[in-house]
Structure 1
Amino acid sequence: MTYEAEARTLTVDLNHKLKVAQRAMERALFGVSLRDRIRNENIRRRTKVTDIAQRISKLKWQWAGHVCRRTDGRWGRRVLEWRPRIGNRSEGRPRARWTDDLKKVSGSGWMRKA
């Protein structure tokens, strides 16, 4: 489930889907059905698995630190700093960017903290 998660933009919907899939896998691991009416917290306590959202957040910070430490001029760092200025903006709310999660946690100086 965490394959390529550090490079993906995490939206609320995607985060919810990952959590649902993790809970389904944990229930399948113990052979527990939804009809058994066992709380997710009890199953999580028995499996001792970390929450998928926390794991992905940790992986994303590790990847951000890796990209920010690069000094050889590869495209990863240049893409993070690139701000396109062509054309008209589309209607509605702007789509979530990869750096939005990082900025939400640590502000605009996230590159130094990563």
Structure 2
Amino acid sequence: MLKVKFYRTAIRPAMLYGAECWPTKRRRVQQLSVAEMRMLRWFCGHTRRDRVRNEVIRDRVGVAPIEEKLTKHRLRWFGHVQRRPPEAPVRNGVLELVDNVKRGRGRPKLTWDESVKRDLKD
């Protein structure tokens, strides 16, 4: 139990530090999820060879998936930004749209605003 408490108070916040501002892609979320599951398996004393499902380990430890926590952090930060006055620097920098910029070829980069819109939709 002590390991789980340490995980919740020290490791998970370190993994999600600054995550409010990340435009998270599937690949980054997958990397965070893999790192989390490796630690939780280690806490429980299981290896991949034991073939214990992730859901079973999460239920045993009592930890929510890191993707849910990431979304929760991002939406909480969005709420803070929305409550600031319109002239606040954080609001100007985050919500400012740039026009007349020539974009490169390929798919446009994922922005923080698009990540928040996706989270709100979900």
TM-score, with length taken from structure 1: 0.85
Which residue number corresponds to residue 35 of structure 2?
A: 21
Number of residue equivalences: 107
Task: Tell me the distance in 2 between the aligned counterparts of 1:106 and 1:52.
Answer: 17
- Asked if the contact 2:20/2:70 (under 8 Å) is kept, the reply is yes
Of 30, 52, 65 in structure 1, the residue corresponding to residue 44 of structure 2 is 30
- Tell me what 2:109 maps to: 95
Question: 1:6-64 deviations in whole A, cap 9, x for unaligned?
Answer: 11111011011111111111001112111111111111110110110101111111111
Aligned to 2:5: none
8 Å CA contact retained: 2:71, 2:119: no
Runs of 4+ in 1 over 6 A off after TM superposition: none
Identity %: 33
In 2: Cα distance, 1:42 partner to 1:106 partner = 29
Partner residue, 1:80: 94
Q: 1:50 to 1:74 in 2, by over 3 A?
A: same
> TM-score with structure 2 length normalisation?
0.80
Q: Which amino acid aligns with 1:67?
A: V
In structure 1, the partner of 2:64 is 50
User: Which structure: greater helix fraction?
Assistant: 2
